[in-house]
Amino acid sequence: MLSMQWRVRPLRRLAMLGLLGTRPRPFAGIVTLQPDGCWRLDPGPGEALCLERAWPCGAWTVLRFSATAAERKLVDVALWRPALSDSAWRALHRQLARQASLSMRAVTKETQ
């Protein structure tokens, strides 16, 4: 799998609407899914990020990342559908579904 990139907008508008319960740092730039399944933000920390949660919506998708388990710094990013091509939007949602199914499989394997 090749790395995939999507353009990200700041979350100020969504935070004002009260859609998110926490106050993460706003981010604008590029989010990249690496072939190994890790995510990176550019500009941002050079370290790999873990996808904590995704909130898909018709007009945008919000992704919450954590840097490391010890620090628990959360970063929320919004990907706006009008800013992406249809194929990029579908690819993003395919990858989110793939990661969700893989994490469910890992939890199931650990509990057995």
Q: Which residue has the higher pLDDT, 74 or 93?
A: 93
Q: According to the model, what pLDDT value does residue 106 have?
A: 42
Task: Give the integer Cα–Cα distance in Å for 74 and 62.
Answer: 12
Using CA atoms, how far residue 33 sits from 74, 82, 85, 88, in Å, is 17, 20, 17, 12
Q: Do residues 110 and 103 make contact, with C-beta atoms less than 8 angstroms apart?
A: no
Note the pLDDT of residue 85.
87
pLDDT value for 112: 45
Residue of 3 and 11 predicted with greater confidence: 3
CA-based end-to-end distance of the chain: 30
Q: Is the pTM of this model over 0.85?
A: no
pLDDT of 109 above 70 = no
Residue 94 pLDDT > 70: yes
pLDDT of residue 82: 83
- Looking at the predicted structure, is the pLDDT value of residue 105 above 50? no
User: What are the two backbone dihedrals, phi and then psi, of residue 89, each rounded to the nearest 5 degrees?
Assistant: -65, -45
Q: Any idea where the domains of the chain sit in the sequence? A: 4-111
pLDDT in tens, 18-77: 555 555 455 567 888 888 888 888 876 667 888 888 888 888 888 888 876 556 677 788
